[in-house]
Amino acid sequence: MTQREKQILEILENDSRTGAEQIAIMLGMDVAEVRAKIAEWEAQKIIIKYNTIVNWEKLGDDTVTAMIEVKIAPQRDAGYDSLAERIYRYPEVKSVLLMSGGYDLAVLIEGQSLKEVAMFVSEKLATIDGVQSTGTHFVLKKYKMGGVILNGKHEDDKRLVITP
Amino acid sequence: MNAVTNWAQRLSPVVRNIPPSGIRRFFDLVAEMKGVISLGVGEPDFVTPWSIRESCIYSLEKGMTMYTSNYGLLELREAIARNIYGDFGVTYDPRKEIVVTVGVSEAMDLAMRAILSPGDEVIIPEPCYVSYSACTALAGGVPVPVATTAENEFRLTPRQLEAAITPKTKAVIIAYPSNPTGATISGPELAALAKIIEQYDLIVIADEIYDKLTYEGQHTCFSSLPGMRDRTILLNGFSKAYAMTGWRIGYACGNPDFIGAMVKIHQYTMLCAPITAQMAALEALRNGKGAMEEMVKQYNQRRKLMLHGFRQMGLDCFEPRGAFYIFPSIEKTGLNCEEFSEALLKEANVAVVPGTAFGQPGEGHIRCSYAASVKQLNEALERIAGFVSKRLS
């Protein structure tokens, strides 16, 4: 991949609504070329999805998020993958990461209440064959998600309007 | 005894005769208005990368609040020397050939005062940064402006240089990439200038503050040219590359006689650059490269956006290859640059700087800084296009 192609992805990752025309101008490329590249990446699932980052908290939404440390026994032929799949198929599970260190999977779960999350862990997660233990950590406050600072103070342009 | 004292008459005539800044009047105009998008800002829209700010906070916690050597922290000078050697292959002895200054602005003043005798002439290619003529005059010298032109993409040509040289010429300022034009100059073109400089035995003050913001081709450091190192006072700093304008931190490199003389002035007028800023600069050189490259990448995208935008409007605009300015010609509108800028501000709420703020050869042009977000630049381009279209037909 060329540096310019990489920049197409970076621009989209930062603001997925940036149009192909604008990207082409910013990178000095042909707009047809940019469109073709984006279509190719969409087909190859390199561009998976165009998401919006929503700060639900501001709407008074009190969804509970928890990070669950899960220890599992790797399975013959499948390693950690088949167990990970059994876990990530639940819609309550927002992300699953295989970790080095003291536990194996970091599982991010969202629910309507502490009780709902706790019940999900004890009834669904902990009972899966191969899951050896779970440790639940509730999220108290989100500061930064996916590279974006939430509730960051709006930083006004503090520069003088005209400077040499 | 009761006559009102005319204090202005008591001022030094040298200071009194320095013309007021062309930017000042515009600043006052803009400051009164609301909803203005300003393309008039000569500094990055990024704040200093966090690792640099954090290291400064840490240095304060450690109690780094004392004077440093007049030359600046040796560690910083060593890092500067390594950096210049790495980028351009020029060697400077950090012990006696580098001085850390309060921005390039101070370094420019020191350089002028160190080398000029009353009446010495300094050749200054215009349009250029606003301080060169004033610094020359304050040091007792005589500024000799040379008008570079859009046809030559605002590069100083050997012919222009030679034509401006007189028996009184002491030095020439070479400042690329250029504020306000965004012009760059190639190695071979600089070499052609160097030949004349050597022939007439001139000193060069090279202001290379925008060197890292070069988007096409490679920046050539003037002192890297054969025979030029010892006759060049190389000025650079951290303001533009690392978004550190308000820290006021720069440096000068040159032969030990030049730098020694500059330090002599610096020690009595400044003593040393602030240690906090020096500590931050050290972090910038050690760990700031990634953040700097990311900023450069974004400036480059905006540069293309602006060039495309102005050309779409039907204005003539040469491609700026450095700094973060674009310098389109507004001659087709039939307005001069002052009229254009003032009307644009009042009718379209966009602030730009008239080219003449950077010397008379800037007439017919406006300086637009693209150190602003893509969203703001798009909005500004749209407003300017609307304004221009009414005047082109």
CATH number, domain with residue B225: 3.40.640.10
Of B70, B314, B319, the closest CA to residue B181 belongs to: B319
B11 occurs within a structural domain: no
* Chain A touched by B301 (CB under 8 Å): yes
Model pLDDT, residue B97 = 98
Model pLDDT, residue B2 = 66
* Chain B touched by A65 (CB under 8 Å): no
The pLDDT mean for chain A works out to: 93
Mean pLDDT of B180-194: 98
What residue of B is the nearest CA neighbor of A25? B305
Alpha-carbon gap: A113 to the closest alpha carbon of chain B (Å): 37
- All residues of chain A having their beta carbon less than 8 Å from the beta carbon of residue B42 are 163-164
Model pLDDT, residue B25 = 83
Of B124, B142, B120, B144, the closest CA to residue B14 belongs to: B142
Model pLDDT, residue B32 = 86
Residues B212, B137 share a domain: yes
pLDDT at B379 over 70: yes
Q: For B49-78, write each residue's pLDDT tens digit.
A: 999 999 999 999 999 999 999 999 999 999
Q: For B208-226, write each residue's pLDDT tens digit.
A: 999 999 999 999 999 999 9
Residue that wins the pLDDT comparison between B24 and B124: B124
Residues B135, B59 share a domain: yes
Residues B67, B39 share a domain: no
Domain count, chain B: 2
Residues B279, B317 share a domain: no
Are B301 and A27 within 8 A, CB to CB?
A: yes
SS3 A93: strand
Is the ipTM value over 0.90, yes or no?
no
Residues B135, B108 share a domain: yes
Gap between the Cα atoms of B83 and B225, Å rounded: 17
Q: For B313-325, write each residue's pLDDT tens digit.
A: 999 999 999 999 9
Are A163 and B23 within 8 A, CB to CB?
A: yes
CATH number, domain with residue B364: 3.90.1150.10
Mean pLDDT of B348-372: 97
Of B60, B107, B329, the closest CA to residue B206 belongs to: B107
**Domain range enclosing B111:** 50-287
Model pLDDT, residue A151 = 80
* Chain A touched by B312 (CB under 8 Å): no
Mean pLDDT of B348-364: 97
B8 occurs within a structural domain: no
B218 occurs within a structural domain: yes
Least CB–CB distance from B351: residue in A155, A157, A162: A162
Q: For B336-351, write each residue's pLDDT tens digit.
A: 999 999 999 999 999 9
Residues B89, B41 share a domain: no
Least CB–CB distance from A26: residue in B31, B40, B301: B301
pLDDT at B83 over 70: yes
Q: What is the DSSP string of B237-301?
A: ESTTTTT-GGG--EEEE--HHHHHHHHHHHHHHTSS--HHHHHHHHHHHHH-HHHHHHHHHHHHH
Are A159 and B41 within 8 A, CB to CB?
A: yes
Poorest-pLDDT segment among A144-158, B59-73, B294-308: A144-158
Model pLDDT, residue A156 = 80
pLDDT at A92 over 90: yes
* Chain B touched by A52 (CB under 8 Å): no
Confidence band for B85, pLDDT divided at 50, 70 and 90: very high
Model pLDDT, residue B29 = 87
Residues B314, B254 share a domain: no
Q: What is the DSSP string of B184-231?
A: ---HHHHHHHHHHHHHTT-EEEEE-TTTT-B-SS-PPPGGGSTTTGGG
B3 occurs within a structural domain: no
What residue of A is the nearest CA neighbor of B28? A162
Give me the domains of chain A, ranges plus CATH numbers: 3-43 (1.10.10), 56-141 (3.30.70.920)
Which of B259, B287, B315 lies at the terminal end of a domain, its last residue?
A: B287
Instruction: For tokens 């233990």, name the residue.
Output: A133
Model pLDDT, residue A146 = 84
Model pLDDT, residue B215 = 98
Alpha-carbon gap: A136 to the closest alpha carbon of chain B (Å): 33
Percent of chain A with pLDDT over 90: 78
Mean pLDDT of B154-176: 98
Positive or negative, the CA dihedral B85, B52, B298, B307 is negative
Model pLDDT, residue A76 = 85
Residues B260, B115 share a domain: yes
Are B351 and A163 within 8 A, CB to CB?
A: no
The pLDDT mean for chain B works out to: 96
Model pLDDT, residue B72 = 98
Model pLDDT, residue B1 = 56
